[in-house]
């Protein structure tokens, strides 16, 4: 039909969620007059608007507008907690593609892709029930391209544990790190384990911001992490 499809979470859970799912393709491209055929919004404080969780793999999202109020816009990551099936060596998040989306006005990260503690022997999500716990799994095959990310409280785009076949390119990130929260102030945050190609991105900070970095780099290990032809304003 005409116009956009609006999914309003009503300040409760996620507008779209999945766990232990695979081969998902969400595309808001059915109407040539709408750049973003789906609008996902209003997951509420502390929640994620599009929340693809433990054990989810082989995912493509395109043509989405994602907005708050919420914590993060799109999060696709597996934390093992106490499930050995989600630990490194048992699970790999494969073929994660996010392109031609518009993410804006969220309190945390715009895009939160992959776990954040790849260098830890055990994930801090583990509990006493499985002490010392399990290491976090890695990602293979990540492309984040042609997205627009604006007005985020923390990092614009965060990618962790992406150890092979990663490309982050042709994204526009503006007005990020609005909370000026130390450690969460990257236009593009490259978290532990992440390697690959990062190029042709436009990163523009908030005028007058006292605390922001275009890039925060904690990745690079088994291969090169190469940044080139990016514009930083």
CA–CA distance, 193 with 165 (Å, rounded to integer): 12
CA–CA distance, 15 with 75 (Å, rounded to integer): 12
16-20, 85-89, 103-107, 126-130: range with lowest mean pLDDT = 126-130
pLDDT digits (tens, 9 = 90+) for 9-47: 999 999 999 999 999 999 999 888 999 999 999 998 899
Q: Is the pLDDT of residue 104 over 80?
A: yes
Q: Is the pLDDT of residue 222 over 90?
A: no
Rg, Å, the chain Cα set: 17
pLDDT digits (tens, 9 = 90+) for 175-196: 999 999 888 999 999 999 999 9
Q: pTM for the full model? A: 0.96
Structure tokens at 58: 């082989």
The pLDDT value given to residue 183: 87
Identify the band that residue 101 occupies on the pLDDT scale cut at 50, 70 and 90. very high
| Residue 59: strand pairing partners | 24, 96
The pLDDT value given to residue 14: 96
Contact status, residue 56 vs residue 22, Cβ threshold 8 Å: yes
The pLDDT value given to residue 126: 86
Taking residues 212-224, report their average pLDDT: 87
Q: Give 212 or 231, the one with higher predicted confidence.
A: 231
Taking residues 64-81, report their average pLDDT: 96
Structure tokens at 148: 């627009």
CA–CA distance, 10 with 15 (Å, rounded to integer): 9
pLDDT digits (tens, 9 = 90+) for 110-161: 999 999 999 999 999 988 899 999 999 999 999 999 999 999 999 999 999 9
Structure tokens at 187: 């236009």
Sheet of 5-8: strand order equals: 5-8, 38-41, 64-67, 102-106, 148-152, 172-174, 202-204, 231-232
| Residue 158: strand pairing partners | 112, 189
Contact status, residue 125 vs residue 80, Cβ threshold 8 Å: yes
**In degrees, to the nearest 5, what angle opens at C-alpha 201 toward C-alphas 181 and 49?**
55
Q: Percent of the chain, pLDDT > 90?
A: 86
Relative to beta strand 5-8, strand 213-217 is unpaired
């Amino acid at each position: 039909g005409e116009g956009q499809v609006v999914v309003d979470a009503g300040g409760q859970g996620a507008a779209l969620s999945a766990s232990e799912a695979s081969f998902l393709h969400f595309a808001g491209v059915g109407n040539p007059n709408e750049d973003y055929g789906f609008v996902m919004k209003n997951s509420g404080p502390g929640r994620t608007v599009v929340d693809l969780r433990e054990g989810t793999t082989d995912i493509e999202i395109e043509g989405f507008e994602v907005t708050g109020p919420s914590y993060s816009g799109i999060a696709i990551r597996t934390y093992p907690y106490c499930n050995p099936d989600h630990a490194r060596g048992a699970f790999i998040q494969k073929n994660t593609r996010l392109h031609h989306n518009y993410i804006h006005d969220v309190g945390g990260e715009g895009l939160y892709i992959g776990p954040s503690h790849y260098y830890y022997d055990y994930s801090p999500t583990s509990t006493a029930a499985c002490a010392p716990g399990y290491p976090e799994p890695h990602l293979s095959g990540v492309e984040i391209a042609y997205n627009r990310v604006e007005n985020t409280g923390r990092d614009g785009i965060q990618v962790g544990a992406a150890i092979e076949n990663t490309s982050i390119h042709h994204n526009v990130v503006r007005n990020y790190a609005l909370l000026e929260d130390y450690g969460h102030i990257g236009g593009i945050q490259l978290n532990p384990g992440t390697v690959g190609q990062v190029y042709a991105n436009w990163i523009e900070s908030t005028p007058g911001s006292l605390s922001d970095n275009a890039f925060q780099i904690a990745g690079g290990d088994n291969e090169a992490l190469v940044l080139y032809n990016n514009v930083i304003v």
